[in-house]
Structure 1
Amino acid sequence: MSAYLSGFGNHHASEALPNALPDGQNSPQTCPYGLYAEQLSGTPFTAPRAQNRRSWLYRIRPTLAHWGAFLKVEAGDWRSAHIGDVGPREIEVPPQPLRWDPLPLPEGEVAFPQGVHTLTTCGDVEAGHGMAASVYGFTRSMRDEYFYNADAEMLFVPQQGGLRFYTEMGLIEAEPAEIVVIPRGVKFRLEVDSPSRGYLCENYGPPFQLPERGPIGANGLANERDFLYPQAAFEDVETLSKLYIKWGGNLWAADIAHSPLDVVAWHGNHAPYKYDLRKFCPMGPVLFDHADPSIFTVLTSPSEVPGTSNIDFVIFPDRWLVAEHSFRPPWYHMNIMSELMGLIHGQYDAKPNGFAPGAASLHNRMIPHGPDAEAFAAASRAELKPQKLEGTLAFMLETRLPQQVTRWAWESPMRQAEYGMYGQRLESRFDPLAPTGRGLG
């Protein structure tokens, strides 16, 4: 039997002890096994039924009993987005394409959350819109340490090494090419077996959901059944522990006397889940031209403007290229959306050089970008027979908001200082005497 429950956004029910779920009532006068009933709501109570996210937890102690005297602690290079009266931006960065080498794995023992380094932020964590994009590197597991994010839903994208999330609802394990989403307010302990590196997106806006397929119809892209939720499991452990909270853009910590992962049973749809990106069914042009990247959207966080996302999580997996009479890589363009890209494994076809697995790039709102000179030349000469891209997996976090670069990201030795001028190597090929174009030799 599978260790997971399947179905994106479904109302799931799971219990670690028989009959731990109350029969027919969410909050009876007394719960089975002497448990406490606690509701965890990820959306306003009056959100439409289709968008409403909430779960009922039946736990040994309510969260209120896992509370301590919280003190603000140093967040290192982990940042949150702020606007309004909080002062100037951390650093002013010129408008240009940016790219970073992979994050070196840290020396010594580094666990979550200390191993998180933020590249960009946008929006406002307190206003509930926008996001933060970070890279992480961990070399040890959390030990009697727990965390929850009150500000954001968290999307983990492992690139090297597996992650093991012991959550209030149960265990989720993930390897590179899988993603894990932890909703606001869900507590967890993160363990690793080996040095691990990857990406983290904090979503301040509405929870991620599956995009509408529109003219694609009923099938394709990500399928609901491939999203996996944990089976109930619990810890009844009384030992001195530390609970971290990300709240109001700051990191807080308190000593507590027991493990907060004490949920014996739960039901609802506000719960952590994982998805294997290799199960994504890509769509694309079958005759000519190049499809917009939105055709590869796995998850979307909508905004109040129809058709304009707070965040789109987009992937570029193995797929066939069959377009005729076409420039197959992404064309040169300027976009109202801003794009942060990462590479999980393989090679990205539009940037064959200098963009290694674990790296990241940023092409902000209305900043021009496209293939480098080598990719342009290769695509312009290529024999346009059917070609399968294999062994590649890149992703993009696309948002309607301009992304602000952190001081750490701008001053980091990982930043490729020369990358912003890569377009200058694209030479003029204009010839008024060659109306059919000029070859590349």
Structure 2
Amino acid sequence: MSEYKYLTGFGGHFSSEDERCPNSLPVGQNSPQQCPYGLYAEQLSGSAFTAPRSENVRTWLYRKLPSAVHTPFLPYAGAKYLSHNWDEQPPNPNQLRWKPFDLPGAKEESVTFVDGLHTVCGAGDARARHGLAVHVYLCNASMHNSAFYNSDGDFLIVPQEGTLDIVTELGRMAVSPNEICVIPQGIRFAVKLKTPCRGYVLEVFDGHFRLPDLGPIGANGLANPRDFETPVAWFDSETYTEFNVISKYQGSLFVAKQKHSVFDVVAWHGNYVPYKYDLSRFMVINSVSFDHCDPSIFTVLTCPSLKPGTAIADFVIFPPRWSVQEHTFRPPYYHRNCMSEFMGLILGRYEAKEEGFAAGGATLHSMMTPHGPDANCFEGASKAELKPERIADGTQAFMFESSLSLAVTKWGAETSQKLDAQYYECWQALKNNFKLDN
């Protein structure tokens, strides 16, 4: 039996208590004069108190000591490639592709999840609670005697190599490649690992991630709420002479010290929780007649903007599926978009660019920058016999799509040394096939 235990469902109000302390949740009220086991009641709010009930998210924590018991925050010197400076580089409208980002070796200098955060691109201002950032994490060491929280927004974490053992205030999660997890704003967590790990992080400053509306699709398509997993309550029973709490605040990192673990929550109840999701459980919607559907049919989670139907960020996947369209060019169509599209590859080979776009790498197609299948893909798909076939087996590509215009950081453009200067060449072999007498 796994040591990790979960509650299921998305957006529900959960109650959980560590099995070592039965009846630790107060009955009938949130903050009694005296909590069971001598615990402290503390509310974690992810929305304004007066937000509509449908959008109001908060969780009550019953913990050994309040979170306020720590020394003052001081600047933290790690994570030197974490950035919110979108003016480091001149704007670049070109199609961009990165080769796989380098993992630190197991015997190299220890790099934790926090110190291994590298910002690739982003837009907006965390102070104004509007925008996003795209990071990759490249790490080889566990976080010990420390925890991290993000005051600026939610983290959507996409592992690509290696399993992350994530300890949160609300419990523990194991998150492997082809799974994702979301750590909402303010929730403290630590990442432990057994091997070097690499993956992607989408950070949003506006609101929180939610499931997309389904409209004519009906009730049962895409990601089903029942397949999301939230950890059960678990508390750290270790004693500490020093424990570091790292805070991301207005794009900078700070650290405070205390003499107890932040993972001291014995029980909790609420609807503001971390969660994970197995991408293989996504229920694919696709065309069974003709034409290639828009990628929005593959949306797993969305963070909406104030403009209806337009997202600060969508998390979209391209999973294994059947392709059956008749009289249709089946790969993704050539495209110019008013949105920004950052793509990553978790495993396998992406069907529209089987060469050059590798797992652990990325692409960025900025607003109105044209993109689409490479020359080999076009030639093959234009002449292929159209019969039902499986596509993307053994592959999982994803996209962070945003209504914001993303700027690339200096690390993404120069320091990483992974930007592929030859990316544009994949379209150069496309021929002019126009015939007036067609």
Cα shift readout 1:348-383 (whole Å, capped 9, x = no counterpart): 111111011111000011111101111111111111
Distance in 1 between residues matched to 2:231 and 2:311, nearest whole Å: 28
Shift of 1:12: 0.4
Aligned match of 2:102: 104
Listed as ranges, the matches of 1:231-310 within 5 Å are: 231-236=232-237, 237-310=239-312
Aligned match of 1:115: 116
SS in 1 for 2:55: coil
Distance in 1 between residues matched to 2:181 and 2:196, nearest whole Å: 18
Aligned match of 1:335: 337
SS in 2 for 1:134: strand
**Are the structure 2 counterparts of residues 243 and 311 from structure 1 closer, same or farther at C-alpha, using a change threshold of 3 Å?**
same
Shift of 1:68: 3.5
Shift of 1:67: 4.2
The letter of the residue matching 2:101 is: L
Aligned match of 1:124: 125
Aligned match of 2:347: 345
Verify the 8 A CA contact 2:85 2:409 in the aligned structure 1. no
Aligned match of 1:92: 90
Verify the 8 A CA contact 1:75 1:250 in the aligned structure 2. no
SS in 2 for 1:66: coil
Cα shift readout 1:92-139 (whole Å, capped 9, x = no counterpart): 132110000111111412112111111111121111122111111111
Distance in 2 between residues matched to 1:175 and 1:15, nearest whole Å: 25
Distance in 2 between residues matched to 1:81 and 1:67, nearest whole Å: 29
| TM-score, length basis structure 2 | 0.95
Unaligned stretches of 5+ residues in structure 1: 83-88, 436-441
Are 2:401 and 1:401 aligned?
Answer: no
The letter of the residue matching 1:119 is: V
Shift of 1:257: 1.4
Are 2:46 and 1:71 aligned?
Answer: no
Listed as ranges, the matches of 1:58-207 within 5 Å are: 58-80=62-84, 89-107=87-105, 108=108, 109-207=110-208
Verify the 8 A CA contact 2:344 2:397 in the aligned structure 1. yes
Are 2:34 and 1:30 aligned?
Answer: yes
Aligned match of 2:420: 416
Shift of 1:393: 0.6
The letter of the residue matching 2:128 is: A
Are 2:366 and 1:364 aligned?
Answer: yes
Q: CA RMSD in A?
A: 1.3
Verify the 8 A CA contact 1:13 1:268 in the aligned structure 2. yes
Verify the 8 A CA contact 1:181 1:272 in the aligned structure 2. yes
The letter of the residue matching 1:48 is: P
Distance in 2 between residues matched to 1:138 and 1:75, nearest whole Å: 11
Verify the 8 A CA contact 1:63 1:260 in the aligned structure 2. yes
Verify the 8 A CA contact 1:81 1:125 in the aligned structure 2. no
The letter of the residue matching 1:77 is: Y
Distance in 1 between residues matched to 2:70 and 2:227, nearest whole Å: 34
Verify the 8 A CA contact 2:82 2:119 in the aligned structure 1. yes
Verify the 8 A CA contact 1:81 1:132 in the aligned structure 2. no
Distance in 2 between residues matched to 1:295 and 1:429, nearest whole Å: 31
Shift of 1:81: 5.7
Distance in 2 between residues matched to 1:178 and 1:68, nearest whole Å: 36
Shift of 1:413: 1.7
Shift of 1:178: 0.4
SS in 1 for 2:37: helix
The letter of the residue matching 1:105 is: L
Distance in 2 between residues matched to 1:260 and 1:67, nearest whole Å: 13
Distance in 1 between residues matched to 2:78 and 2:161, nearest whole Å: 26
Verify the 8 A CA contact 2:79 2:116 in the aligned structure 1. no
Verify the 8 A CA contact 1:68 1:256 in the aligned structure 2. no
Distance in 1 between residues matched to 2:85 and 2:264, nearest whole Å: 32
Distance in 1 between residues matched to 2:74 and 2:115, nearest whole Å: 17
The letter of the residue matching 1:429 is: N
Unaligned stretches of 5+ residues in structure 2: none
Once structures 1 and 2 are overlaid, which stretch shifts more, 120-129 or 269-278?
120-129
Aligned residue pairs: how many? 428
Distance in 2 between residues matched to 1:7 and 1:78, nearest whole Å: 33
Shift of 1:255: 2.2
Distance in 2 between residues matched to 1:58 and 1:94, nearest whole Å: 49
Shift of 1:318: 0.5
List 4+ stretches of structure 1 deviating above 2 A.
66-75, 236-239, 420-425
Distance in 2 between residues matched to 1:402 and 1:146, nearest whole Å: 32
Distance in 2 between residues matched to 1:7 and 1:427, nearest whole Å: 50
Cα shift readout 1:180-235 (whole Å, capped 9, x = no counterpart): 10011111111001111111111111100000110000111000010000010012
Cα shift readout 1:370-409 (whole Å, capped 9, x = no counterpart): 0111111111111110010111111000000011000111
